[in-house]
Amino acid sequence: MHLPNHSQFILASVSPRRRRLLQQAGYQFEVVPSAVDETAAEATATDSELLSRRLALAKARDVAERFADRLVLGADTVVDADGHIIGKALDAADAERITRRLFSGPHKVITGVALVWAVRNIEIVEADSTTVYPNPLSEAQIAEHIAGGGWQGKAGAYGIQETGDAFVQRIEGSFTNVMGLPMERIERLLSALDIYPHRRGADG
């Protein structure tokens, strides 16, 4: 695969939410999905933050093996409910079970982020945690959420950018972290590597 010279880094994720956050911040990047199997790691994991960091690094390393001369950003988001790791729902019934559990009390959304630049021997791995205080949901809201399919492909079976105030009372921490990428942390890490957003008009 040939990547344009103007792209600043590679995003090792096909998540439309992560791609949108980076685009909105003004970064130019290419998307190269990793081939990491998340399910095996999730099945044996006992620590949410450790899992998110481990998977983010595995994804970045996987893509960096193919693009050693490029900076690669990997990320993985997990949800923690009272110490129990909540991943993506397997089906509608699983999504309903997860929704009832998560929206009965506060839970944490944890995103691990990893930057790998093989030729420069750079590996940076961090994690960001946000506590979500949910609104109690009615039976009708739960049924509508499951029927709408918005839970598909999302850790914790919901997307805060879609459910908004109806599902969430307040949060403590990064809002974009709940969407899948803690942009405050990402911008700090990329700035430390002299990677800055490319904004329209910045270069004339």
Residues labelled as active-site residues: 76
Distance from C-alpha of 10 to C-alpha of 2, rounded to nearest angstrom: 12
CA angle in degrees (0–180, nearest 5) for 172-178-180:
145
Distance from C-alpha of 97 to C-alpha of 85, rounded to nearest angstrom: 14
Tell me the DSSP string of 80-146.
Answer: EETTEEE-B-SSHHHHHHHHHHHTTS-EEEEEEEEEEEGGGTEEEEEEEEEEEEEPPPPHHHHHHHH
Cβ–Cβ < 8 Å for 24, 180: no
Cβ–Cβ < 8 Å for 19, 11: yes
How is residue 166 written in tokens? 């109806």
